Structure 1
Amino acid sequence: MTGEEAASGLRVLTLELTNCGTEPLRLDGYPSVTVLDGDRRPVTIAVGRGSFGISAVAAFDAEPQPVTVPPGGSAVTGLLWRNTHTDTSAPPVVGEHLELAVATGEPTRVFTPVAPSGGGPITIDLGSTGKLGVRPWTAAP
């Protein structure tokens, strides 16, 4: 997890993958993402490709391109959501962990997002929106 940006309730979390293997890793498309609560149970939300109607963010809506990550190299993706809570009949939806796979059908790992430089945990604070957008893989800058 490389950081979070927030403005007007819009949240962007950048995720960086580093290839720790000895062979190149080919990525094409989007990672598979499941948001988990504090007990590591999936939260009920809609996860969609691109900005998913949350906000117009060009990097999220770019056409996926194949990315080859050499050993020691990196690629990035990101998550986009809005922290808006308008339904007072239910508590806000908050995720504390992420279950990620490089692509649908690949093995998953569970991560706890933390702020860069040893900061505290980052929550996926979806409010009552129930929507999460996923950016396609791109080569790391």
Structure 2
Amino acid sequence: MLGASAAGCGAERPAPVAVPVPPVPLKTPTAAPACPPEGVVVSADEGDAAMGLRVIGVRLRNCGTEPYRVNGYPGLRLRDAEGTALKVDIGHGSGGVSRVESLGHPPRPLVLGPGESATAGIIWRNLVTDATVTATLVTSLDVVPVPDTPAQTVAVHIDLGNTGRIGVSAWRRLPG
């Protein structure tokens, strides 16, 4: 019996069959947005979430040929999927959402040379504090880099719950 078993293990297996795999199309890189007349372009990052505390970064890049001055906090308007402006309390720094040292820096005047960038952080908690109030989902932000300049709209995903409150930090220069 032992000999029969061993002989069965040495039997040849059929050769593998080659299965054609279609080539995976490469993603076309997203073109950088055109530089608006103001000479700056606004974008948002994917954000970070930990234990209900959420943070997203808003970036301001000088795409123009002249220095661009910022000081203070970006102006924000939050919108839902239908484009409706939402009523949300926006506090400076962490805005009473949570104590986060990196968002509490005071505003400082910045001069961004061509190609330089600044960032501001937005913080919120995804909390439902009242079951009778519908949770809010923000899908875009209108960002005003400095007062009296046009807003630029960026797509975001802010799952605000129903707290109706976010915090925003002052602009801070990005290194490099």
Asked whether 1:132 is paired with 2:166, we answer: yes
- Secondary structure of 1:59's counterpart equals helix
**Which of the residues 43, 46, 58 maps onto 2:89?**
46
Identity of aligned residues (%): 36
Q: CA RMSD in A?
A: 1.0
Asked whether 1:106 is paired with 2:140, we answer: no
Asked whether 1:58 is paired with 2:92, we answer: no
Over residues 81-100 of structure 1, what are the superposed CA-to-partner deviations in whole Å (9 max), with x where a residue is unaligned?
00011211021011100001
Asked whether 1:72 is paired with 2:115, we answer: yes
Asked whether 1:4 is paired with 2:47, we answer: yes
Distance 1:104 1:9 in 2: 32
Unaligned runs of 5+ in 2: 1-43
- Secondary structure of 1:3's counterpart equals coil
In structure 1, give the amino acid aligned to 2:71. D
Give 1:18-29 correspondences, 5 Å limit: 18-29=61-72
In structure 2, give the amino acid aligned to 1:42. A
- Secondary structure of 2:123's counterpart equals strand
Question: How far has the Cα of 1:30 moved from its partner?
Answer: 0.4
Higher mean C-alpha deviation, range 30-39 or range 56-65 = 56-65
Over residues 19-77 of structure 1, what are the superposed CA-to-partner deviations in whole Å (9 max), with x where a residue is unaligned?
11110101100000011010111111101111111101112111111111111111111
- Secondary structure of 2:59's counterpart equals strand
Question: How far has the Cα of 1:14 moved from its partner?
Answer: 0.8
Question: How far has the Cα of 1:104 moved from its partner?
Answer: 3.1
Q: Which has the larger radius of gyration?
A: 2
TM-score if structure 1 supplies the norm length? 0.89
Pairs aligned (count)? 132
- Secondary structure of 2:163's counterpart equals coil
Distance 1:104 1:111 in 2: 18
Distance 1:28 1:136 in 2: 8
